[in-house]
Chains A and B, each alone.
Chain A
Amino acid sequence: MKTFKIVSIIGFIGFATISCSPERAAIVQGKSGVQLWSETCMRCHNTPSPADFNDADWSTIEMHMRVRANLTADESKKIFDFLRSAN
């Protein structure tokens, strides 16, 4: 169990270091609201369409989901700006 723990911790740190790179940061930064919407919401449930709610409701949901789903400030702004612009 101890060896398993040590190996998994080292593996985790190694993996984390490899997967973090400036190019990848630029990819994430460059994502549009539509793209983030199609990738993010389905992590937990089916993806709602922009027309499902009005602007006021989307902004309440924005805060609820930002906290519940641990969305970054940038992600949630882009996604919900898109949802409000397309409903």
Chain B
Amino acid sequence: MKRIILPILAMFFVGNIIAQQDLKPSKTQFMIRGYGSAGFQSLNDEGEKESSFNSGTFAPIMLFKFSDKFMFETEMEFAYENGELETALEYADVMYILNDYMTIRAGKFLLPFGTFMERLHPSWINKLSSVPLGFGHDGIVPSSGVGVELRGTFTVSGSKFNYAVYSTNGPKLNDGSMDPDEAGILHFDNYEDNNKNKSLGGRIGYLPFTDSSTEIGFSFLNSKVGNTESDYEKIGAKLIAYDFSFIKKVNPLAGIIDIKAQYNKSLVDDAEYFEPLDGGGFEEYTFNNTSNSFYAQLSYKPTMSASNFLKNIELVGRYSELNTPEGAEWESNVKQTAFGINYWLSWRSALKVNYQITDGTGGHGGGGIDKKLFTIQWAFGI
């Protein structure tokens, strides 16, 4: 994969430089944007301390605009982990504006399941250096999907609505045959479908006020998740999310108040799973496969301050929690509180100083979780 991606990337960079030297305006527009981050972290995991610098990630985004209606977007992610360069294709999709109210997208795209993954996760947008519990690795929420989507927006007498409906390969159930510890977990990164059933999902967002300060949204995703011709073929999953956003310049507070929240719930049909016993053989068990997660974040930026320094400071607090099914091998109940002070160097670059406390039960070790993490991250958009 790397062997293919790196030369392609080099070609694009060179192409871009050549294109810029050619001063005639071109109908096809091409742009490289993206973001990256670098940082330092100090972790106290139940008394065991470790600290390290990390090179973070670099995620170039390429945008090709072929006409006023037709565009291609792609994002790759490069991260240096355990001494190796990891690459991932975050998204690669074409979009075509059908009319003022509807756009079609196809390919691998970020899913409008709630708002965090689609709108807020890039490091220069996310106000903290971590993602809330329930998202990302070990999350219960999909971030992208391969399929097609119709999305758009319309106004009804001054109130704005936006919508998206999509069909993708959908989540895949880990039936535990390969890794019994993960029996019942949903995996979302499926380039190839594991069954004939396609998932159906969507989101509706509503902005009640004329200043667009507030948005509430509801999302769903329904799919069969078991492998074809397995005992799990008929197992289905229903995911829902509610999201909320409020952002406004508040004059008495001389700054911007920003509130974001999302609640996610995942319901997977009951199924029988097998646990290998020490002396050989298996034990059959089942559990109520329901998970949920929630986060709420409040931030304040004194943009109207007379001091140039204070103007660029931002204070953030976030609470999140994740509850995975009782009786599952991956049962957990975790809570997390994170605080941050950010200094914005530009509209797309911030120095974030965060302190995060995570506690609860479960996780990979199965015991208690008690982690305190201090991080400094420099996030930048390019």
A and B from one complex = yes
On A, residues with C-beta under 8 Å from B are 12, 15-16, 19-28, 31, 39-40, 42-49, 52, 56-57, 59-61, 63-64, 66-73
From residue 141 to 169 of chain B, which have CB atoms closer than 8 A to chain A?
Answer: 151-160, 162
Given A12, A21, A56, which contacts B29 in the complex, CB threshold below 8 Å?
Answer: A56
Q: Is the CB of A16 within 8 A of B159?
A: yes
Contact with A along B176-218 (1 / 0, CB 8 A): 0000000000000000000000000000011011111101000
Residues of chain A contacted by B212 (CB below 8 angstroms) = 39-40, 43
Q: How far is the CB of A80 from chain B (nearest CB, A)?
A: 12
Q: How far is the CA of A72 from the CA of B125 in the complex (A)?
A: 22
Q: How far is the CA of A16 from the CA of B131 in the complex (A)?
A: 32
Q: Is the CB of A67 within 8 A of B210?
A: no
Q: How far is the CA of A86 from the CA of B154 in the complex (A)?
A: 28
Give me the 9 closest cross-chain CB pairs, A-B, nearest first. Answer: A24-B158, A70-B162, A20-B157, A73-B100, A46-B347, A25-B158, A70-B153, A19-B208, A25-B157
Q: How far is the CB of A27 from chain B (nearest CB, A)?
A: 5
Given B68, B95, B160, B206, which contacts A67 in the complex, CB threshold below 8 Å?
Answer: B95
Q: Interface segment, B9-17, B116-124, B223-231?
A: B116-124
Known contacts A42-B247, A64-B73, A19 near B158 by CB under 8 Å: yes
Q: List 5 A-B contacts (CB under 8 A).
A: A27-B158, A39-B213, A43-B247, A59-B65, A70-B152
Given B25, B155, B347, which contacts A48 in the complex, CB threshold below 8 Å?
Answer: B347
| Residue from the set B154, B157, B209 with the largest chain A CB neighbour count within 10 Å | B157
**Interface SS of chain B:** strand
Given A48, A52, A72, which contacts B160 in the complex, CB threshold below 8 Å?
Answer: A72
Q: How far is the CB of B27 from chain A (nearest CB, A)?
A: 11
Known contacts A19-B209, A46-B348, A63 near B65 by CB under 8 Å: yes
> Within 8 Å of chain A (Cβ to Cβ): is B105?
yes
Residues of chain B contacted by A60 (CB below 8 angstroms) = 29-31, 63, 65, 71
Known: A70-B162, A72-B100. 8 other contacts (CB 8 A): A25-B157, A28-B155, A42-B247, A45-B348, A46-B348, A48-B348, A63-B97, A72-B153
Q: How far is the CA of A15 from the CA of B159 in the complex (A)?
A: 11
Q: Is the CB of B159 within 8 A of A24?
A: yes
Residues of chain A contacted by B152 (CB below 8 angstroms) = 70
Residues of chain B contacted by A49 (CB below 8 angstroms) = 347
Q: How far is the CB of B312 from chain A (nearest CB, A)?
A: 10
Q: How far is the CB of A16 from chain B (nearest CB, A)?
A: 6
Q: How far is the CB of B238 from chain A (nearest CB, A)?
A: 13
Q: How far is the CB of B23 from chain A (nearest CB, A)?
A: 12
Residues of chain A contacted by B347 (CB below 8 angstroms) = 45-49, 52
Q: Is the CB of A27 within 8 A of B151?
A: no
Q: How far is the CA of A56 from the CA of B64 in the complex (A)?
A: 12
Q: How far is the CA of A6 from the CA of B212 in the complex (A)?
A: 26
Residues of chain A contacted by B206 (CB below 8 angstroms) = 12, 16
Q: How far is the CA of A63 from the CA of B25 in the complex (A)?
A: 18
Q: How far is the CB of A75 from chain B (nearest CB, A)?
A: 9
> Within 8 Å of chain A (Cβ to Cβ): is B245?
yes
From residue 205 to 257 of chain B, which have CB atoms closer than 8 A to chain A?
Answer: 205-206, 208-213, 215, 245, 247, 256
